[in-house]
Amino acid sequence: MGALNANRVARGDNDWTSNMSNLHSQNGRRIAIAVGLLLFTAGCKGTDRGPTDVDAYSSFVSDTGDIKFPSNFPTGFVFIGSWAVSGTAGVSEIHAVYARPTDVSNYQETGKFLDGAVLVKEVSNTLGSPHTTGNAFWANDTKTWFMMIKDSKQRFPSNPLWGDGWGWAEFNPATKKQISTNYKTDCQTCHIPVSQSDWVYAYAYPILGPKAQAIRPKNAVTGHQAEAMLEHSAEVIAKVAGNGVDSGKAAFGKNCAACHSVTVGGTGIGPSLAAVVGRKAGALPGYEYSPAMSKSKVIWTPENISKHIEKPKELIPGNRMANLFPRGVQDAKQRADIVAYLETVK
Ligand code: HEC
Ligand code: HEC
C-alpha cells in the first residue's frame, strides 16, 4: 500500500518537486527520498492520473475509442482482490483484479468509480498439488485479461465497446490484442447481477471499504460451508442467459428426449415432463415410478431438477433414472438452459 500513500501525498502537494530539491541538500535524507520517489513512480507513472486530468483517456484509448492494454501493467496499479473459481475438484481459475491507486482512494471517499477509473481482471489457469496446508492451487499461465474504463461522459456513442458508463475490453494473453467486439453480448449479460453497483462486483474488493459491501449477496457463505452454494449457481446463470430457453430446448433434445416426452399424457421410458416444475416427485398419475421416486418428498423446483440431472444418483437415491442416465449433464450452463426450457413446458 506504499504506492497508495505516495499517491495521496502527491495529489495533496502539487509543489513536491521543489520541496524535494530543498531536502536534497540534506545528505541523511537522501535514501528516504529515493525510496519515496520510487514509490511515487510506481504509483503514478503513465496511467496514474486523477479523474480531473484532461488526458485520463489518452494513454490507452484512441480518439475513436479503441482500447489498448496498458503497456506498463501491473506497474501503476494496485491489487484490489481476487476470485477463486471452483472446478469439479479444485480451483480451476484465479482472477486477480487491479485498479489505479487514485481509483481506490476515490471509491473509498465517494463509494463510486469516478470518470477515467480503470479495472483490470487477470484470469489465470491454475496448477495444484497436495501441500502442508491441504490441496493448494496457484496461478499458472494467464488465460486472458478483461478491462473496464469508467466513462461518465458517453464519449464514444457509436463504438460497440462503450456503453452503460464504461469502456469494455478483453485481451489475448499472447498478443495483448483487444479481442472483444461488442460489450453487450461479450460482457454485459454476465454482469447483470451487479447492474445496481455500476456493473462491478465491488463486494469482493475489501480495499474499497464499507460502501462496496452494500451489494454483497445475501446468500454468501464461507468456503467451508460451500455445499449450500451449488444449488444456486445454476439459478444465477439461468437468470442472465437470455437465450437459455432455445439452447435448453436443443440440450433437452440431445440429453432427455429419448426417455421423456414434454406433452401432457405423453409416454416414454421416463414420465412426461410437461408442467414438471413445481410438481412433487413421483406424482404423475399413470406412470409406474420406482418406490424411491414415489416415496420421495422432493418438489421439482428449478434447483432440484438441476441437482437431479447433474448427479442422477444423489438427490433421490435408488431412483431408476440413476442407472439409465448415470453421467447426467455436467455443464452448469446447459443444466440451467434445460431447466429454463422446462419452465416453459406447461
Ligand atoms: C461468463 C460471464 C462473464 C463474462 C462473459 C464477462 N464477465 Fe466480467 N466478470 C464476471 C464475474 C462473475 C466477475 C466477478 C467474479 C469472477 O471474476 O469470477 C467479473 C469481473 C470482472 C471484472 C473485475 C471487476 C468487477 O466487475 O468485479 C472486470 C474488469 C470484468 N469482469 C470485465 C469484463 C469485460 C470487459 C467483459 C467482456 C469483454 C467481461 N467481463 C465478460 C462475469 C463475466
Ligand atoms: C435413459 C432414460 C432417461 C434419460 C436420458 C433421462 N431420464 Fe429422467 N427419468 C427417467 C426415468 C426412468 C425416470 C423415473 C425414475 C423413477 O421412477 O425412479 C425419470 C425421472 C425424471 C424426473 C422426475 C419426474 C417426476 O415425475 O418425478 C425428472 C425431473 C427427470 N427425469 C428429468 C430428466 C431430464 C431433465 C433429463 C435430461 C437432462 C432426463 N431426465 C434424462 C429416465 C431418463
Q: What angle do CA 100, 122, 233 make, to 5 degrees?
A: 115
CATH number of 228-344: 1.10.760.10
Can you tell me the mean pLDDT for 302-329? 93
184: three-class secondary structure by DSSP:
helix
Can you tell me the mean pLDDT for 183-193? 90
Q: Which atom of ligand 1 is nearest to the CA of 205?
A: 27
The values of phi and psi at residue 169, to 5°, are -150, 155
Q: Which atom of ligand 2 is nearest to the CA of 280?
A: 27
pLDDT digits (tens, 9 = 90+) for 20-35: 333 333 333 333 333 3
CB of residue 251 inside a 6 A radius of ligand 1: no
User: In the chain, which residues fall in CATH 1.10.760.10?
Assistant: 228-344
256: three-class secondary structure by DSSP:
coil
Residue 77's pLDDT band (boundaries 50, 70, 90)?
very high
Q: Which atom of ligand 2 is nearest to the CA of 338?
A: 35
pLDDT digits (tens, 9 = 90+) for 259-308: 899 988 888 889 999 999 999 999 999 999 999 999 999 999 999 999 99
Q: Per mean pLDDT, which range of 40-44, 63-67, 249-253, 256-260 is the poorest?
A: 40-44
Residue 44's pLDDT is 37
User: In the chain, which residues fall in CATH 3.50.70.20?
Assistant: 78-216
Can you tell me the mean pLDDT for 183-191? 91
Residue 10's pLDDT band (boundaries 50, 70, 90)?
very low
118: three-class secondary structure by DSSP:
strand
CB of residue 241 inside a 6 A radius of ligand 1: no
pLDDT digits (tens, 9 = 90+) for 83-112: 999 887 789 999 999 999 999 999 999 999
Residue 253's pLDDT is 86
Residue 333's pLDDT is 87
Q: Please, where are the H alpha helices in the chain?
A: 2-12, 16-24, 30-44, 101-110, 183, 189-191, 227-240, 244-255, 291-295, 302-310, 321-324, 332-344
Can you tell me the mean pLDDT for 48-64? 63
State the Cα–Cα distance between residues 161 and 61, nearest whole angstrom: 11
Residue 346's pLDDT is 86
Residue 4's pLDDT band (boundaries 50, 70, 90)?
very low
Residue 232's pLDDT band (boundaries 50, 70, 90)?
low
Kindly state the percentage of the chain with pLDDT values over 70: 78
DSSP string, 186-227: IIIHHHGGGGGGTT--GGG-GGG-GGGGGG--TT---GGGTH
Residue 201's pLDDT band (boundaries 50, 70, 90)?
very high
Question: Of 67, 57, 333, whose CA–CA distance to 181 is shortest?
Answer: 67
Contact 140, 114 (CB under 8 A): no
CB of residue 262 inside a 6 A radius of ligand 1: no
Which residue in this structure is represented by grid cell 484465479?
94
- Lining ligand 2 with CB less than 6 A are 255-256, 258-260, 269-271, 273, 276, 281-282, 284, 289-290, 292-293, 300, 305, 308-309, 319-321, 324-325, 329, 338
Which bound ligand lies closest to the C-alpha atom of 321? 2
CB of residue 146 inside a 6 A radius of ligand 1: yes
State the Cα–Cα distance between residues 49 and 52, nearest whole angstrom: 8
> Residues with Cβ < 8 Å from 111, sequence gap 6 or more?
211, 212
> From the CA of 315, how far away is ligand 2's center (Å)?
12
49-63, 68-82, 213-227 — which one is most confidently predicted on average? 68-82
Residue 321's pLDDT band (boundaries 50, 70, 90)?
very high
Please give the CATH topology (third level) of the domain spanning 78-216.
Answer: Chalcone isomerase (3.50.70)
The reported pTM is 0.58
